[in-house]
């Protein structure tokens, strides 16, 4: 695993990579977006269970909180400002576009708040993201100038959505609005996992491996 140099939040995000720079050109890129209060190394533990063809990069959210980082501020009831989401999306979108030229495709995997980021990026960059894997998270509800949802209605986003129906963290209202959004804007594979809570199971990663292999790699 290799590190990219840290830079301010308004510039290039801090990333750790699964491989060296000289091994990346021409490979499909898979970008990991961690959850609220976590960090860039957390989701890298998933990399061995994902297709080896990918160059995997895990990004650090820009805002320090407690013992980790957040992509955008969350209130105690998980309410948030969509304008703050837009502010978080802009530098990551710029980073993705800079990297896209050297990769065959760009796919996003987000956990919890990272799923909100992954889907927001795909809504901001329709046609530029091959697929989104969302785990135990949500889609930002409503409309915003940041989002080009009308293009996703015409060409739905390939999306894997895994969750435990008893997830104690994500409010039912956000689950419902995510399902409503996906119905109109995504070609979604929804899979539920019992006993996982607000987490990720080995079975789920096996399904993600299969999904990425077939949908992104065309295996």
pLDDT tens for each residue of 114-123: 999 999 999 9
Domains contained in the chain, number? 1
In the prediction, which pLDDT does 219 show?
Answer: 62
Ramachandran sector of residue 4 (left: φ over 0; alpha: ψ -120 to 50; beta: rest): beta
Supply the CATH number for residue 121's domain. 3.40.50.1820
**How is residue 95 written in tokens?**
């980073």
Give the range among 71-75, 76-80, 198-202 with minimum mean pLDDT: 76-80
- Reported as type and span, the H/E element at residue 183 is helix 172-185
Is a pLDDT exceeding 50 seen at residue 209? Answer: yes
Is a pLDDT exceeding 50 seen at residue 9? Answer: no
Give CA separation, 57 vs 33, 105, 165, in Å. Answer: 9, 13, 29
In angstroms, rounded to a whole number, what is the distance separating the alpha carbons of residues 114 and 83? 16
State percent of the chain over pLDDT 90: 89
Banded pLDDT at 2 (limits 50, 70, 90): low
**Domain extent for 168:** 2-216
- State mean pLDDT over 65-78: 88
133-180 confidence digits (pLDDT tens): 999 999 999 889 999 999 999 999 999 999 999 999 999 999 999 999
What number of other Cβ atoms are within 10 A of residue 217's Cβ?
Answer: 15
In the prediction, which pLDDT does 63 show?
Answer: 95
58 close to 117: Cβ distance less than 8 angstroms: no
In the prediction, which pLDDT does 36 show?
Answer: 95
22-38 confidence digits (pLDDT tens): 999 999 999 999 999 99
Q: Does residue 123 or residue 80 have the better pLDDT? A: 123
In the prediction, which pLDDT does 6 show?
Answer: 36
In the prediction, which pLDDT does 39 show?
Answer: 95
- State mean pLDDT over 194-205: 97
In angstroms, rounded to a whole number, what is the distance separating the alpha carbons of residues 17 and 47? 10
In the prediction, which pLDDT does 127 show?
Answer: 95
Is a pLDDT exceeding 70 seen at residue 4? Answer: no
């Amino acid at each position: 695993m290799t590190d990219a140099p840290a830079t301010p939040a308004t510039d290039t995000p801090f990333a750790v990579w699964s491989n060296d720079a000289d091994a990346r050109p021409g490979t499909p890129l898979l970008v990991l977006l961690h959850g609220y209060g976590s960090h860039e190394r957390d989701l890298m533990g998933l990399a061995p269970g994902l297709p080896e063809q990918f160059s995997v990069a895990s990004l650090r959210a820009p805002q320090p909180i407690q013992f980790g980082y957040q992509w955008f501020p969350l209130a105690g009831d998980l309410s948030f400002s969509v304008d703050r989401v837009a502010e978080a999306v802009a530098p990551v979108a710029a980073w993705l576009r800079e990297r896209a030229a050297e990769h065959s495709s760009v796919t996003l995997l987000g956990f919890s708040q990272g799923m909100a980021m992954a889907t927001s990026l795909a809504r901001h960059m329709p046609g530029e993201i091959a697929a989104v894997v969302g785990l135990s998270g949500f889609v930002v509800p409503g409309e915003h100038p940041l989002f080009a949802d009308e293009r996703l209605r015409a060409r739905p986003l390939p999306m894997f959505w895994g969750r435990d129906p008893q997830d104690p963290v994500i409010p039912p209202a956000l689950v419902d609005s995510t399902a409503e959004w996906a119905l109109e804007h995504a070609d979604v594979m929804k899979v539920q996992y019992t006993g996982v809570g607000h987490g990720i199971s080995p079975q789920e990663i096996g399904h993600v491996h299969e999904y990425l292999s077939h949908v992104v790699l065309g295996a």
